[in-house]
A and B are shown apart, each in its own frame.
Chain A
Amino acid sequence: MSGEIPIVQLDGELDMVRAPGLRLELMGAVDNRHAGLVVDLTGATYLDSAAVNVLFEVADELRQHQLEMALVIPPDSLVQKVVMLVDLGSVAPIQADVEAALAHVDGSG
């Protein structure tokens, strides 16, 4: 099926100060017309455990509604290292770029 898939771009420092807002931004981007969500972290320079927890929670919540969340992350970066350490890929598959992420979400729906 080929629904509309929102892309949320999160730039800059994703930390505990921004975490509550991230949750609202991500959940607000999706509704039941959508096949899922692409979170583009290419422009993110920092990602702490508070922001990571939000990404886990949002991915879990979307799954309960049969929606898939895919991630695009900046290569060879602090953000990539964090994503690998906490195994965020286990709930939100990591894709090479936004195109691939869209295709992945579309295919999973």
Chain B
Amino acid sequence: VNERSASERLHALQSVTDATLSHLPLEEMLKELLDRVTVLLDTDTAAILLLEEDGRNLVATAAKGIEEEVERHVRIPLAAGFAGRIAAERRPVAIVDVDTADIFNPILREKGLKSLLGVPLMLETRVIGVLHVGTLTPRDWGEEDTEVLQRAADRAALAVGGRLVERERGLAEAFQHSLIPVLPSVPGIALAGRYKPAAAAQLGGDWYDAFVLPNGSVGVAIGDVVGRGFQAAALMGQLRSALRAYAIDRPPREVLEQLSALLRQLQPGWSATLLYAVLELDSGNTTIASAAHPPPLLLHGGGEPDYVELAPSVPLAVVRDPRYEEVTLKLPAGSTILLYTDGLVERPHESLDTGLDRLRGVAERGGFEPESLCSGLMEELVAGGPGADDAALLAVRVESLSDPFVMSLPVDRDSIPMMRRVMSRWLAGAGASREEAGEITLACSEACANAVEHAYGPGGSAYEVEAASIAEGVRLAVRDTGQWREPRGTHRGRGMTLMQGLMDSVEVERGDSGTVVHMSRRLERQAA
């Protein structure tokens, strides 16, 4: 029998959740708490069981004297046996003689426990678990025992609740963060994106994406899954992956139609707005399809920005088999297209037009460089405070190409179609006719293919293409950091044949630090 007074014991309990414990991982902290509870109440065992997320089972999380509970991952259905009853009825339960009681967990009997006392772990009005203690000798539990145990349980509940919220929030943030894309590096194009989560660490369904397509064009997308929470964020992740897959061989209109069908199948009742555009790097032609998404803002080299006019459309998955339309516009060098979600323009008690006018005004002052434009917009337009929606934006600027022009490309054959389109644009600027540009681009792509194919083992990094105007035409250099091998087999060497046939001169310079292919070609440059 305990000699310490109730107040002494309660005071001692205070130390159970003091600051020195708060830095411990949850499981260790609970174990430490159980140690102290067994000492204070003079019991042989103590255990904490927490309710699983689905609310149906209690799972042993920490134990003292009956460590097997945790080791065997004991799960007890709500309302079953001793612990289940405590959680279901939300009140203390005292058992003086285990032999005559309804016990679900066999470990309690195996251990030879005679008497048990348990209390619920409450977080506000919610049961989150059970704390119980046991003795190997029969014990008649007093009111004071129950009071001390309930105090310990309350402290444990606070600690568990705090850790749970923290863990959930951490997961939510990590999850959302993992969905923010790494933007591709595209010569002649500047890209910047921003994502601002909703207030109060709620998960949102906004997202953006940008990627290089197999044919060398650039796909950009922005979307908004209607709704909040984990499911909205998870759906957003699924839509993003599916969009990339559909985009490989489908035009924007069809990508949207496929996504609409997919979303209906994945989560009936959910919908999303989405805008997907494909930018051709040679012509600047941009084909846009929208599923009820706010219109992109176009910033020209000068003059007032204006919104792209899109045909009225329905969000994804709202109707069966929707048909979407495409709009094609030309983005000349110096122009920027801005995609955004409604979190950027919508405010409570305000018309959408007011928000759009405000965005136009801020964007006009924000300059054209995507990074600074995005930063300015985030600073001035994105609302904070509770209830604020999440927001995403993506800015794409077509830059003018310098002369000489250098592009650094990853050692990957997938980079070659993109190189071709950028090279075509540069050649047009340098005065090449369409035919000349086609031939020079093909010769260049053969040199690039050699750089990618021969020059590296796995894991090589980058190669470089330089183009410059010279008096009577253009010269190109393709530099890599590897060693060319002589062509092998009957089908080798046709690349070199094409380079030599399409260019006026081709020289391969092999050095210790790599290989450079120099090529030049005269241009007719018909006077305009």
Contacts and interface: CB of A to CB of B under 8 A. Distances in A.
Interface stretch (B49-57, B183-191, B298-306, B495-503): B495-503
B445 A15 contact: yes
A81 interface: yes
B446 A48 contact: yes
Contacts of A85: 497-498, 501-502
Interface stretch (B107-115, B135-143, B410-418, B508-516): B410-418
Nearest to A52: B494
A78 B491 contact: no
B332 interface: no
Given A17-B214, A86-B497, A53 B491 contact: yes
A78 B490 CA distance: 23
A49 B215 contact: no
B124 interface: no
30 contacts: A15-B416, A15-B417, A15-B420, A15-B445, A16-B416, A16-B449, A17-B214, A17-B414, A17-B416, A46-B438, A46-B442, A48-B445, A48-B446, A48-B495, A48-B498, A49-B449, A49-B494, A49-B495, A52-B494, A52-B498, A57-B491, A78-B435, A78-B439, A81-B501, A81-B502, A82-B442, A82-B498, A85-B497, A85-B498, A86-B494
B498 A56 contact: no
A45 B498 CA distance: 16
Given A52-B498, A78-B438, 20 more contacts: A13-B215, A15-B416, A15-B445, A16-B413, A16-B416, A16-B449, A17-B214, A46-B442, A48-B442, A48-B446, A48-B449, A56-B490, A56-B491, A57-B491, A81-B439, A81-B502, A85-B497, A85-B498, A85-B501, A85-B502
Nearest to A87: B497
Interface residues of B, number: 22
Measured as residues with beta carbon below 8 angstroms from the partner, the interface class of chain A is: 10 to 19
Contacts, number: 54
A45 B442 CA distance: 11
Contacts of A82: 442, 498
A50 interface: yes
Interface centre among A46, A49, A57 (most CB of B within 10 A): A49
A58 to B, nearest CB: 12
A85 B491 CA distance: 14
